[in-house]
């Protein structure tokens, strides 16, 4: 007699951070967004009036910060929305899609920065170095304040951690702009402005390409980069009674939410405790790999135990 398929969905409620920390993170993110947006406006205006392409380039970097911070806040809100009959995963993927679109826009902006830097290197324009330095100093101080605000929640939330490193990177860019301002005022070498602009542009481009690649990987149902499949299989088989693992699929619902489905071939003498085995596997996956959403099925006679990934056929 064939053992009926058994499934166990682990009802683990996932949030980006716990309720108390969630409220603190939201408050700090809102303040960080307001302060960083003010820096963005200051650098755009300052870059226009001082003639500094480096400030305008850094404004592009600051725009990445504003977006990253806003996306982190948005992710906290969107994760609390319930699933619906038409969107059973909720709206988590909106975060990923917006990341992809934003990265594309930043690549276009970087192209403009490179073009202007090329033009100015061969045809330098006068720049108000001290004004440029003043705006960059304001930006540096604001970035350090935001980084200090985010340091604590960044320890427990990957989304906030990403925004935190964005801000740290922009603080470093502000230091570069200040150095260029000193060079211009002391030597009159205006070509330093387009050179640092190109360097900042490369930083923006690298970040945008990395974010676009990560977003594309999620949208294409790729295995999360933090997860090593062979290790996952070994740990699933470590439970007493599990003979093999196949039809294994691991994917990301969004940047910080992982899911897994698999078939487990269980020893006939241990099938009476299938539910207990599933619970043990689920707990291990949650603790060691941050996989909270799992769907496990006991072996059926039609499965190919040699096909670990369970190739999907168009039927």
Domain ranges of the chain: 19-219, 224-298
State the Cα–Cα distance between residues 183 and 189, nearest whole angstrom: 7
DSSP assigned state of 308? T
| Interval 20-51: pLDDT, tens | 455 666 787 888 889 889 989 998 998 888 88
| Interval 132-151: pLDDT, tens | 889 889 888 988 988 888 88
Mean pLDDT of 107-112: 86
- Name the percent of the chain lying above pLDDT 90: 13
Q: Which fold has domain 19-219?
A: Alpha-lytic protease prodomain-like (1.20.1510)
State the Cα–Cα distance between residues 87 and 262, nearest whole angstrom: 22
Beta-strand (E) ranges in the chain? 7-9, 242-254, 257-266, 291-298
Select the more confidently predicted residue: 155 or 272. 272
| CATH of span 224-298 | 3.30.70.1350
Full-model pTM: 0.73
pLDDT at residue 310, rounded to an integer: 64
């Amino acid at each position: 007699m064939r053992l009926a398929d058994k499934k166990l969905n682990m009802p683990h409620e996932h949030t980006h951070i716990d309720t108390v920390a969630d409220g603190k993170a939201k408050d700090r993110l809102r303040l960080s967004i307001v302060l960083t947006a003010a820096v963005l406006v200051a650098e755009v205006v300052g870059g226009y009036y001082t003639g500094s392409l480096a400030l305008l380039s850094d404004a592009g970097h600051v725009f990445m910060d504003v977006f990253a911070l806003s996306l982190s806040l948005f992710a906290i809100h969107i994760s609390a929305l319930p699933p619906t009959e038409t969107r059973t995963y909720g709206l988590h993927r909106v975060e990923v899609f917006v990341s992809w679109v934003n990265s594309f826009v930043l690549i276009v902006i970087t192209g403009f920065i490179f073009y202007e830097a090329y033009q100015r290197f061969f045809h330098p324009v006068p720049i108000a170095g001290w004004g440029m330095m003043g705006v960059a100093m304001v930006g540096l101080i604001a970035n350090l304040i935001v980084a200090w605000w985010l340091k604590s929640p960044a320890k427990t939330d990957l989304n906030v951690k990403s925004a935190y490193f964005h801000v740290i990177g922009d603080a470093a860019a502000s230091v570069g702009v200040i150095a260029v301002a000193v060079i211009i005022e002391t030597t009159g070498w205006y070509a330093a402005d387009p050179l640092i602009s190109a360097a900042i542009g490369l930083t923006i481009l690298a970040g945008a390409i990395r974010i676009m690649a990560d977003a594309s990987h999620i949208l294409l149902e790729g295995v999360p980069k933090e997860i090593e499949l062979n290790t996952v299989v070994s740990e699933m088989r470590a439970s007493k009674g599990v003979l093999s693992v196949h039809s294994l699929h691991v994917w990301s619902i969004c940047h910080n939410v992982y899911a897994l489905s698999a078939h487990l071939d269980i020893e006939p003498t241990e099938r009476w405790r299938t539910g207990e085995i599933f619970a043990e596997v689920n707990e291990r996956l949650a603790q060691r790999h941050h996989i909270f959403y799992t769907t496990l099925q006991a072996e059926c006679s039609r499965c190919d135990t040699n096909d670990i990934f369970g190739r999907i056929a168009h039927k």
